[in-house]
């Protein structure tokens, strides 16, 4: 069972920038927004020639890549980044904007639901999949603010995409600081109990994955000792 992480946040909150610390030799970035990466020199690190970067929002192409990662072609890849889920949703919606029937919304929900549900079960155990998404903050009638993953259509709202992840990080920026919120604070952020003592940590995805490795290795040691 592959490990999956949801990283959400507003535009400019440091979501994609947090990927700068990952090792290009073992990372594959699927750029669904087709906008490139936001740090100097990224094209030397990530490219089609290096076989660690592709720009597509087509779910069929994404699944074909994931199958190659799972199989024999790209076994050196340990981390896959899908950036962003919203890029997939918006491009699909725009491509079918002339369709007036209900089916397009059902199809959209089904494609995203399948992606975030099946990456756990269909990919190899040593793989981490980082799904990046935009967030939205709503205010209810009582003035209560709550931040969650931004979706397209009410069907995805009902699914609650965050429920498919054990790790949900909220990228935040303020006063020149870029951090991840690790625990719910008027948001859907969450991490396993005891993983992070701090409510906010630096926006460093490699450090997050190392912390998860250490956390899971401690669990395995505990199980072996019983």
- Flag whether 100 is in a domain: yes
For helices 85-95 and 103-122, give the axis angle rounded to 10 degrees: 150
% residues pLDDT > 70 (the chain): 92
- Say what the pTM is: 0.93
31: tokens are: 């750029």
Task: Give the confidence band of 73 by pLDDT, cuts at 50, 70, 90.
Answer: confident
pLDDT of residue 225: 57
Average pLDDT over residues 193-198: 95
pLDDT of residue 166: 95
- Flag whether 217 is in a domain: no
What does pLDDT average to over the chain? 91
Question: Structural domain tally of the chain?
Answer: 1
Give pLDDT tens digits for 169-195. Answer: 999 999 989 999 999 999 999 999 999
pLDDT exceeds 90 at position 218: no
- Flag whether 144 is in a domain: yes
- Flag whether 148 is in a domain: yes
CATH of the domain at 160: 3.40.50
pLDDT of residue 102: 57
Task: Give the residue numbers spanning the domain of 28.
Answer: 3-193
Give pLDDT tens digits for 135-155. Answer: 999 998 888 999 999 988 777
157: tokens are: 């709202």
- Flag whether 114 is in a domain: yes
Give Cα 7 to chain centroid, integer Å. 5
- Flag whether 51 is in a domain: yes
% residues pLDDT > 90 (the chain): 73
pLDDT of residue 110: 80
- Flag whether 201 is in a domain: no
- Flag whether 226 is in a domain: no
pLDDT of residue 171: 98
């Amino acid at each position: 069972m592959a490990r999956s992480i949801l990283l959400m946040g507003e535009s400019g909150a440091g979501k994609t920038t947090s990927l700068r610390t990952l090792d290009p030799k073992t990372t594959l970035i699927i750029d669904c927004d087709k906008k490139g990466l936001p740090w100097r020199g990224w094209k030397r690190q990530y490219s089609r020639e290096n076989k660690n970067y592709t720009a597509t929002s087509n779910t069929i192409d994404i699944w074909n890549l994931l199958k190659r990662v799972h199989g024999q072609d790209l076994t050196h890849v340990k981390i896959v980044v899908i950036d962003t889920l919203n890029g997939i949703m918006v491009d699909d919606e725009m491509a079918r904007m002339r369709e007036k029937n209900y089916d397009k919304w059902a199809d959209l929900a089904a494609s995203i639901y399948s992606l975030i549900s099946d990456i756990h079960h269909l990919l190899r155990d040593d793989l981490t999949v980082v799904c990046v998404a935009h967030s939205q903050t709503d205010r209810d009638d009582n003035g209560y603010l709550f931040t969650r993953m931004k979706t397209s259509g009410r069907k995805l709202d009902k699914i609650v995409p965050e429920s498919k992840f054990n790790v949900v990080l909220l990228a935040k920026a303020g006063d020149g600081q870029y951090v991840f919120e690790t625990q719910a604070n008027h948001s859907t952020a969450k991490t396993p109990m005891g993983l992070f003592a701090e409510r906010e940590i630096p926006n460093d995805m490699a450090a997050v994955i190392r912390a998860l490795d250490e956390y899971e290795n401690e669990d395995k040691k505990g199980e072996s000792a019983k």
